[in-house]
């Protein structure tokens, strides 16, 4: 059985369909790339899975259990964490305090939550920055902080929304290594990303969306050659 199974997922905003009849699944231990042009519906899919937005229609199951209708904190408790495309730490709190807030989901005692936060910050390479204000971090380190916050909720499934957006080439490589380390530690990953080099390097499988619908699915090197995918990214002439 797939770890995550999505069937017929549909969401309209007013008259506009952001996601339409989308079906895909994620296997345990996989890194699944979810790609598509701007406005394709990728972030909306994450919002639907994590309970920030309710589906108009369709099913979302984690390990066979429906998560539709659960609030975001309840989805997190079931084991799904996400990062945000626009990073939003509490700027006036320290790096460690930011992650401690997330760790409270599994550790009610402050001391335990702080220890868990420190462990996750070490894992993402922020051990030396724990006492700095979150607002003082570079973009790369803010992305690391986002990942530490998500990991501190001890997810089985981690949804990453453009963790490499705005990073330089070296930082993209570092972030790719980090995502692979996270997977190696037993966390299944869905990666939304426009940086194709990273998608090609680290995804086991890719789902391509365009205008709310799935237009292709398969191994990354195959999918990027499909006419429908080239047409979605570069216009009809290529197809």
Ligand X SMILES: Nc1ncnc2c1ncn2[C@@H]1O[C@H](COP(=O)(O)OP(=O)(O)OP(=O)(O)O)[C@@H](O)[C@H]1O
What is the C-alpha separation between 47 and 71, in angstroms, rounded?
11
By C-alpha distance, which of 58, 151, 49 is closest to 98? 151
The nearest distance, CB 38 to ligand X, in angstroms, is 4
Is the CB of 43 or the CB of 83 nearer to Mg ion? Answer: 43
DSSP 224: T
- Of the CA atoms within 13 Å of residue 110, those in its CB half-sphere come to 1
User: For ligand X, how many residues bind (rule: CB under 6 A)?
Assistant: 11
What is the C-alpha separation between 20 and 13, in angstroms, rounded?
11
CA–CA–CA angle 11, 219, 5 (5° rounding):
40
The nearest distance, CB 36 to Mg ion, in angstroms, is 9
The nearest distance, CB 220 to ligand X, in angstroms, is 17
Identify residues 65-94 at the interface with ligand X (CB under 6 A). 85
Is the CB of 31 or the CB of 48 nearer to ligand X? Answer: 48
The one of Mg ion, ligand X, none whose footprint includes residue 25, by CB under 5 to 8 A per kind, is none
User: How far is the CA of 39 from the CAs of 17, 60, 62, 209, 220, in angstroms?
Assistant: 11, 21, 26, 9, 21
The one of Mg ion, ligand X, none whose footprint includes residue 40, by CB under 5 to 8 A per kind, is ligand X
Residues in touch with Mg ion (CB under 5 A): 42-43, 85
CA–CA–CA angle 175, 224, 197 (5° rounding):
20
Distance in angstroms between the alpha carbons of the first and the last residue of the chain: 36
Binding mask 31-70 for ligand X (x = CB under 6 A): -----x-xxxxxxx--------------------------
The nearest distance, CB 204 to ligand X, in angstroms, is 21
Is the CB of 83 or the CB of 100 nearer to Mg ion? Answer: 83
By C-alpha distance, which of 201, 200, 239 is closest to 223? 200
By C-alpha distance, which of 191, 169, 171 is closest to 180? 191
CA–CA–CA angle 82, 88, 89 (5° rounding):
100
The nearest distance, CB 35 to Mg ion, in angstroms, is 11
The one of Mg ion, ligand X, none whose footprint includes residue 13, by CB under 5 to 8 A per kind, is ligand X
Residue nearest to Mg ion (CB): 43
Query: Considering the rule CB under 6 A, would residue 195 count as an interface residue with ligand X?
Result: no
The nearest distance, CB 159 to ligand X, in angstroms, is 12
The one of ligand X, Mg ion, none whose footprint includes residue 210, by CB under 5 to 8 A per kind, is none
Residues engaged in binding ligand X (CB under 6 A): 13, 18, 36, 38-44, 85
């Amino acid at each position: 059985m797939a770890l995550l199974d999505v069937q017929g997922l549909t969401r309209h905003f007013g008259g506009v369909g952001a996601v339409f009849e989308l079906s895909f699944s994620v296997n345990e231990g996989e890194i699944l790339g979810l790609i598509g042009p701007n406005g394709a519906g990728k972030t909306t899919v994450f919002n639907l899975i994590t309970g920030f937005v309710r589906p108009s229609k369709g099913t979302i199951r984690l390990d066979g259990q429906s998560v539709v209708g659960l609030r975001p904190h309840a989805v997190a408790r079931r084991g799904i964490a996400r990062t945000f495309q626009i990073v939003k730490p509490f700027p006036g709190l320290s790096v460690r305090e930011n992650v401690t807030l997330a760790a409270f989901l599994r550790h009610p005692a402050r001391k335990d939550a702080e220890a868990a936060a420190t462990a996750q910050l070490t894992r993402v390479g922020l051990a030396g920055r724990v006492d700095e204000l979150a607002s003082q971090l570079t973009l790369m380190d803010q992305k690391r902080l986002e990942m530490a916050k998500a990991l501190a909720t001890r997810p089985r499934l981690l949804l990453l929304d453009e963790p490499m957006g705005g990073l330089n080439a070296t930082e993209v490589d570092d972030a790719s290594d980090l995502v692979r380390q996270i997977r190696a530690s037993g966390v299944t990953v869905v990666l939304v990303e426009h940086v194709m080099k990273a998608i090609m390097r680290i995804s086991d499988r890719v789902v391509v969306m365009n205008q709310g619908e799935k237009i292709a699915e398969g191994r990354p090197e195959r999918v990027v050659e499909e006419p429908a995918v080239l047409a979605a990214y570069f216009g009809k002439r290529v197809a």
